[in-house]
Structure 1
Amino acid sequence: MRNATIRQLQIFSVAASHLSFARAAEKLHLTHAAISLQIKQLEDVSGTLLFERIGKRVFLTEAGEILLAHTRQILQSLKEADEALLALKGLKGGRIAVAVASTAEYFAPGLLAEFRKAQADVRLRLLIDNRETVSRLLANNEVDLAIMGRPPADLDAIAIAFAPHPLVIVAGREHPLVGAPGLAVEDLADETLIVREAGSGTRSAMEEFFHEHAIRPRIGMEMASNEAIKQAVVAGLGISFISAHTLGLELAAGRLHVLDVEGTPVMRRWHIVRHKSKHLTPALGAFWEFVIECAPAYLRTLV
């Protein structure tokens, strides 16, 4: 393997993570042919097949799985060496890749902007997706840390709760339940719910809430976007169980109203999460402490 190049390992890591040469080409802005050529050259260097195709699907061989584990260690070590050298030179810079659960997209950019005021030289990369994908990004070391609701149970991670996360039930301004005091959960049994997709933390919290009250929610629509859900509720297509941190503009404008339902708001916690083996570079350490110390006050301004 001593003749393998860093570029080949980078391409292999992306292709192996997605099990798709096409996705790797898209993410790396290369042609499919270029990806295939680099993988073929890496296989020649290693003397073994790294991928196998069964039907229309691509899988890692046993050799590919072994090489992927070492490749991730190599790429992470190079990144940490870069950060350490920057710190040794007295530079304030560094790079941080942050993944956030899609519900956190309403406050994460503002939070990162506040951090940049103090650490202007740090380069930030923000990825937004549902809880399931954010967990995978952490597990595969594709991001340095994540901001999410419930940390993944199957990941050897360090997670710190830094702020409350209230979840509420909302309806459009013309809905007959708006303004009704002391609603029981049973009063929602016949209401059409517009909900997040499976894999979303908000969806899991909603299902737990109704299960605890022995109510089977009547799901009318599934959507992968909080923004789309809010617009559907405004249009009168149903009610929704949603994070209070997504509602600022609609509540202020009177387009959405929080229903007074027993047991709500459902209180969860926001967490900052990193893999247990993740080394805290100066930049990462500064951001980690910033979120824990400053994010609670910032989030209080949003509800």
Structure 2
Amino acid sequence: MLHLTLRQLKVFEAVARHLSYSRAARELHLTQPAVSMQIKLLEENLGLPLFEQLGKKIFLTEAGREMYRYSKTIAEQLAEAESVFAELKGMERGNLKISVASTANYFATQLLASFRQTHPRVTVNLDVTNREALLGQLEHNQIDLAVMGQPPDGHDLIAESFMENPLVVIAAPDNPLAGQKHIPVSRLADETLIVREAGSGTRSASERFFQTHQIAPRTGLVMNTNEAIKQAVQAGMGLAVVSLHTVSLELETKRLALLDVEFFPIQRYWFVVHRKNKRLSATAQAFKQFLLDEGKAAVTG
């Protein structure tokens, strides 16, 4: 008979997911020796090694792979049970774990503020991250909902659009193109673009657009934040394709210029996303419905 503790399973799941004792320790706010001790106790209870070390890296053994599959299932069932019991108590004191793509952070706080006006006792845990990390959080069932651009196929997700996300071309106010009307899209082939990192939804959408129109602008800089891109464009280092939601303040104060380019804006959408098999708590369901019903008005109103 196995004598396992939930603490041991939680620690094991984190180590197996990261394949790192140190990263698991940071995530769980434990010391690395404490993590190692929990794994050692679990292996002693099972009578089998769960990890093997080759050089400086650790890998799951066959027993480890089996335990990882069970530990994920148990963690998901416990999270579901927690949601069910919270729902039975009512959602006045519910918890909401939500992650948003970094571009969506420009309006996420407005959405949450509007939601909490009618649900003031809900505790919100908000994480702002990049697209790759956000998809990982969904895959590992670490969050209730995500707000992001169109998620890729094949991730077993439910995604529903709630607001437009137009992509526009921006330039420094003194750029020769600023103020011109009906700029041919082919003109961008002569320009240098500042882009987000590979995997970014905005970058992927703009690359598809340029391929469709058979244009290949030069890539001058690759940056992993919208703020860095805006600063670089403002300094005259190139143009950028960004979400209109990220530059409203700079356009209003004329620190950046919106270019009137043919076929722009590229029309995309914001989606509220969760795992297909996830049983949403009453709080998460209420926030999802709020986005679908009132998301656009909460940002623009």
* Alignment match, 1:146: 146
The two structures have a TM-score, normalised by structure 1, of 0.94
Of 43-52 and 21-30, the range deviating more from structure 2: 43-52
* Alignment match, 2:158: 158
Instruction: Decide whether aligned partners of structure 1 residues 69 and 96 sit closer, same or farther in structure 2, where only a CA change above 3 A counts.
Output: farther
Does residue 40 in structure 1 map to residue 62 in structure 2? no
Q: Is the 8 A contact 2:48 2:63 kept in 1?
A: yes
For each residue in 1:219-256, what CA deviation from the matched residue of structure 2 results, as whole angstroms up to 9, or x when unmatched?
A: 01001000110011111111101000101110111001
- 1:81, CA displacement in angstroms? 2.1
For each residue in 1:84-107, what CA deviation from the matched residue of structure 2 results, as whole angstroms up to 9, or x when unmatched?
A: 223323452222211211111111
Does residue 22 in structure 1 map to residue 22 in structure 2? yes
Does residue 84 in structure 1 map to residue 120 in structure 2? no
SS at match of 1:138: helix
SS at match of 2:216: coil
Instruction: Decide whether aligned partners of structure 1 residues 18 and 148 sit closer, same or farther in structure 2, where only a CA change above 3 A counts.
Output: same
Q: Is the 8 A contact 2:91 2:283 kept in 1?
A: no
Runs of 4+ in 1 over 6 A off after TM superposition: none
* Alignment match, 1:212: 212
- 1:298, CA displacement in angstroms? 2.3
Does residue 229 in structure 1 map to residue 210 in structure 2? no
CA distance in 1, matches of 2:17, 2:155: 17
CA distance in 2, matches of 1:16, 1:94: 30
Of 64-73 and 229-238, the range deviating more from structure 2: 64-73
* Alignment match, 1:191: 191
CA distance in 1, matches of 2:149, 2:248: 19
- Which letter maps to 1:264? F
CA distance in 1, matches of 2:229, 2:291: 28
SS at match of 1:40: helix
* Alignment match, 2:131: 131
- Which letter maps to 2:124? L
Does residue 105 in structure 1 map to residue 105 in structure 2? yes
- Which letter maps to 2:218? R
CA distance in 2, matches of 1:91, 1:130: 29
- Which letter maps to 2:226? N
CA distance in 2, matches of 1:113, 1:181: 38
- 1:124, CA displacement in angstroms? 1.5
* Alignment match, 1:122: 122
Instruction: Decide whether aligned partners of structure 1 residues 60 and 176 sit closer, same or farther in structure 2, where only a CA change above 3 A counts.
Output: same
- 1:185, CA displacement in angstroms? 1.7
Q: Is the 8 A contact 1:171 1:233 kept in 2?
A: yes
Of 24-33 and 162-171, the range deviating more from structure 2: 24-33
Number of equivalences: 301
- 1:128, CA displacement in angstroms? 1.7
- 1:190, CA displacement in angstroms? 2.0
Q: Is the 8 A contact 2:91 2:122 kept in 1?
A: no
CA distance in 2, matches of 1:52, 1:289: 46
CA distance in 2, matches of 1:99, 1:51: 31
Of 108-117 and 177-186, the range deviating more from structure 2: 108-117
* Alignment match, 1:264: 264
Q: Is the 8 A contact 1:180 1:260 kept in 2?
A: yes
SS at match of 1:107: helix
For each residue in 1:178-221, what CA deviation from the matched residue of structure 2 results, as whole angstroms up to 9, or x when unmatched?
A: 01111112211121111000011011011111111111120010
Instruction: Decide whether aligned partners of structure 1 residues 83 and 111 sit closer, same or farther in structure 2, where only a CA change above 3 A counts.
Output: same
Instruction: Decide whether aligned partners of structure 1 residues 280 and 91 sit closer, same or farther in structure 2, where only a CA change above 3 A counts.
Output: closer
- 1:65, CA displacement in angstroms? 2.6
Q: Is the 8 A contact 2:84 2:281 kept in 1?
A: yes
SS at match of 1:92: coil
Percent of aligned pairs sharing the same letter: 48
Q: Is the 8 A contact 2:114 2:298 kept in 1?
A: no
SS at match of 2:190: coil
SS at match of 1:279: coil
For each residue in 1:167-186, what CA deviation from the matched residue of structure 2 results, as whole angstroms up to 9, or x when unmatched?
A: 00100111111011111122
- 1:62, CA displacement in angstroms? 2.9
Instruction: Decide whether aligned partners of structure 1 residues 65 and 114 sit closer, same or farther in structure 2, where only a CA change above 3 A counts.
Output: farther
Instruction: Decide whether aligned partners of structure 1 residues 64 and 96 sit closer, same or farther in structure 2, where only a CA change above 3 A counts.
Output: farther
Does residue 11 in structure 1 map to residue 29 in structure 2? no
The two structures have a TM-score, normalised by structure 2, of 0.95
CA distance in 2, matches of 1:292, 1:245: 18
* Alignment match, 1:244: 244
